[in-house]
A = this chain, B = another copy of it.
Amino acid sequence: MRVLYHLPLSPFSRKVRLVLAEKRLPFELQLEKVWERRPEYLALNPANTVPTLIEENGLAIPDSGVICEYLEEAYPDAPSLLGATLAERVEVRRLLAWFDGKMAREVTSNLLGEKFMKRLMGRGNPDGALLRTGYAALREHMGTIGMLAEQRTWLAGATLSLADFAAAAHLSALDFASDVDWSVSPATRDWYARIKSRPSFRALLADRVPGVMPPAHYADLDF
């Protein structure tokens, strides 16, 4: 069986879980506490990040971006999430870089990074200034997502793509930690309600993390 090493609050792990489910590729989840720096895991993924996918043939694929490109190439009969034309694929990958680069750096690492990973990595308490920066940036990014959702059917264009799953993965992890004020952008909320109701989302909504209580609306499809 295919194995995905993950952490439940990692948006990059969440994105790959959604993509594997959308492509109907079965897998088992394996919790990887990266702060323990297990030598066996470092051998699979020297960057010591989650997720890492291990295929049944033993191929180890680290990094969520590498995994998503690999899945498109390895399973050409599964539904593509990258777009059909060159221009569509540029737009999907541009938004992937936006959400997994810029939004991850400005929002997710300032909020989830400070509130959870910092403590787990033994690097002390959350920095209040970084939390404030993160919340301000989250409002800006929700504005951008809402604008895209108003102009297009899905974030990158007419079809559902990796861009939607990347953005939804960040927002779902932030929502789990009660960090999202959905009233900031009704268009973002409507788009998220649509993607959240897909069957691929069910496993994420059933996640539980010791010591973190998600808000009442977290798993509510009509929130």
Q: Which residue of B lies closest to A48 (CB)?
A: B102
CB distance from A1 to the nearest CB of B (A): 19
Q: Within 8 Å of chain B (Cβ to Cβ): is A158?
A: no
A93 contacts B74, CB within 8 Å? no
The 0/1 profile, CB within 8 Å of B marked 1, for residues 87-99 of chain A is 1011001100110
In the bound complex, do residue B66 and residue A90 qualify as a contact, i.e. CB atoms below 8 Å apart? yes
Q: Which residues of B contact A101 (CB under 8 A)?
A: 47
Q: Is the CB of A89 within 8 A of B73?
A: yes
In the assembled complex, A146 has its CB within 8 A of some CB on chain B: no
Nearest chain-B residue to A55 (Cβ)?
B86
Counted per complex, copies of this chain come to: 2
Which one of A15-23, A56-64, A207-215 is at the interface? A56-64
Given contacts A66-B90, A86-B73, A93-B65, contact A98 B59 (CB under 8 A): no
**What is the distance, in angstroms, from A152's C-beta to the closest C-beta of chain B?**
15
Instruction: Point out the residues of chain B lying under 8 angstroms from A69, CB to CB.
Output: 69, 89, 93
Task: Tell me, rounded to whole Å, the shortest Cβ–Cβ distance linking A132 to chain B.
Answer: 18
Contact A66 B94 (CB under 8 A): yes
Known pairs A59-B87, A73-B86; A66 contacts B47 (CB<8 A): no
The interface residues of chain B lying within 8 Å CB-to-CB of A93 are 63, 65-66, 69-70
List chain A positions with a Cβ less than 8 A from chain B.
Answer: 46-47, 59, 61-63, 65-66, 69-70, 73-74, 86-87, 89-90, 93-94, 97-98, 101-102
Q: A62-B94, A62-B97 are in contact. List 9 more A-B contacts (CB 8 A).
A: A47-B101, A59-B86, A61-B94, A63-B93, A63-B97, A66-B90, A69-B89, A70-B90, A73-B89
